């Protein structure tokens, strides 16, 4: 195959060498892109999720695992979500009202598992290994905690 360059030079290449170089480049680019995209849950979600806390009436104290976290409305609280079978204990308190207690649990997110196993299979198991090891497959069962506090009559 003859190729004419812009400066007028003509160079002859064996027919199969160009095809081999193009195939090699495509393989390298495909592997590089696949490696960059491996561990999709790690990339798209990370190890933390934001949780919002609301109460009616507002200005109630929010406690997470017994630690004061703030006053409602409390927005964008970052909690670690990459813990297998973990439960956060939530309590919302206001003087003169019955305390509200609930939990936020981590659960396995089947969508992230499926993406790693099916879509990123060409990574030779790297994507599932990354996300399963760092816990990015886990997510919360609840990201908005809302309550109406009941008044305690005197």
Residues 29-44: tens digit of each pLDDT: 776 665 555 556 666 6
Q: Indicate whether 153 belongs to any domain.
A: no
Q: Torsions phi, psi of 143, nearest 5?
A: -115, -10
Q: Indicate whether 121 belongs to any domain.
A: yes
Global pTM reads 0.67
For 3-22, how does the pLDDT look when each residue is reduced to its tens digit (9 = 90+)? 677 787 777 766 655 555 67
Give 133-136 contacts, CB < 8 A, sequence gap 24+. Answer: 134/39, 134/42, 134/47, 134/82, 135/47, 135/81, 135/82, 135/83, 135/84, 136/39, 136/41, 136/42, 136/45, 136/46, 136/47, 136/82, 136/112
Which residue range(s) make up the domain with 142? 39-148
Query: 60 and 32 in one domain?
Result: no
For 18-30, how does the pLDDT look when each residue is reduced to its tens digit (9 = 90+)? 555 677 777 777 7
Query: 120 and 68 in one domain?
Result: yes
Asked if pLDDT for residue 57 goes beyond 90, the answer is yes
Query: 78 and 117 in one domain?
Result: yes
Q: What is the mean pLDDT of residues 88-104?
A: 95
């Amino acid at each position: 195959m003859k190729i004419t360059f812009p400066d007028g030079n003509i160079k002859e290449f064996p027919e199969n060498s160009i095809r081999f170089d193009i195939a090699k480049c495509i393989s390298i680019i495909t592997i590089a892109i696949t490696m960059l995209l491996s561990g999709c849950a790690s990339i798209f979600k990370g190890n933390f999720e934001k949780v919002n806390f609301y109460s009616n009436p507002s200005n109630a104290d929010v406690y997470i695992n017994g630690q004061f976290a703030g006053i409602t409305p409390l927005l964008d609280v970052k909690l670690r979500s990459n813990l297998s079978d973990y439960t956060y204990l939530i309590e919302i308190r206001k003087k003169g009202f019955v305390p509200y207690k609930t939990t936020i649990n981590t659960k396995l997110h089947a969508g992230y598992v499926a993406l790693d196993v099916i879509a990123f299979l060409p990574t030779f198991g790297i994507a599932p290994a990354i996300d399963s090891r760092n816990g990015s497959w886990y997510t919360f069962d609840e990201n908005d905690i809302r309550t109406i506090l009941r008044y305690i009559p005197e």
